[in-house]
Amino acid sequence: MNPEHSYPGRLIVVEGIDGSGKSTQIELLQNYLRLKGYGVLLNVWNSSPEISPIIRKAKKKQTLTPYAFSLLHAADFSYRYTHEILPALKAGKVVLSDRYIYTAVARDCARGIPKDWLVSNFRFAIRPDLTFFFRVDPAVSYDRITQTREIKYYEAGMDMEFSTNPRESYILFQSKVLAEYEVLAKENGFHLIDGAHSMDETQKSMRKAVNPVLSGIG
Ligand code: ADP
């Protein structure tokens, strides 16, 4: 279990497979909390100024092994944790994290990396005050994503060579990720969000869950 924190801020996380609705909801939550007067930092997976450009280049070449993929994302997380997430928590902000350590564990486990190695790599990171887990059928999230853009190589797990068909590969790979998330959800007490619900319904239930977590802040 990761350590609890005693910083004045709060850490709220959204987790789930690609296309499950996390970014949509966390942005709505960000607007809601800002309107309520909270200082908010929205922090996004794979966005550090130092490491994420390297990840983008490496992904284009499609040559990353599962361990290289994992370590690069761990470096990106570690950078954001130290330089962005922790300072905001120390300053009493509400940190909204679009993906957290559980993404690395679920996704890299699905790529065949032993879970204990992954968990120990992220042992330093504090436990969030609240983690939402967006549970959605991979066939549904595939359809949602491909309404606006093409599926990406690593998102579909094409590097694992489960199938040469991107849709089939996405569903096989993301089903494995989802199974890992189900275990993590039980181990870490995630707050379940039914990804089949409407955006409005989901946002309402998230606000209801967030409000008690924010008591005593600001
Ligand atoms: P994620 O951040 O988990 O990858 P997004 O928030 O980007 O997912 O959502 C993926 C796509 O699904 C977007 O086009 C978004 O508009 C759509 N979407 C999100 N939530 C819902 C929902 N509850 N019902 C239908 N479509 C949704």
Question: In the chain, where are the structural domains located?
Answer: 10-204
Is the pLDDT score of 218 beyond 70?
A: no
Write the CA distances from 76 to 67, 73, 104, 184, 186, integer angstroms. Answer: 14, 5, 11, 21, 26
Instruction: Assign a CATH topology to domain 10-204.
Output: Rossmann fold (3.40.50)
Separation CA 110–CA 175 (nearest Å): 9
Q: What is the mean pLDDT of the chain?
A: 97
pLDDT band at 217 (very low <50, low <70, confident <90, very high): confident
pLDDT band at 94 (very low <50, low <70, confident <90, very high): very high
Closest ligand 1 atom, CA of 26? 6
- Any idea how long the chain is? 218
pLDDT band at 65 (very low <50, low <70, confident <90, very high): very high
20 marked as binding residue: yes
Q: What is residue 208's predicted lDDT score, i.e. its pLDDT? A: 98
Q: Is 109 left (phi over 0), alpha (psi -120 to 50) or beta?
A: alpha
Is the pLDDT score of 42 beyond 70?
A: yes
Distance 1 CA to ligand 1 centre (A): 30
DSSP state of 43: E
For 20-33, how does the pLDDT look when each residue is reduced to its tens digit (9 = 90+)?
999 999 999 999 99
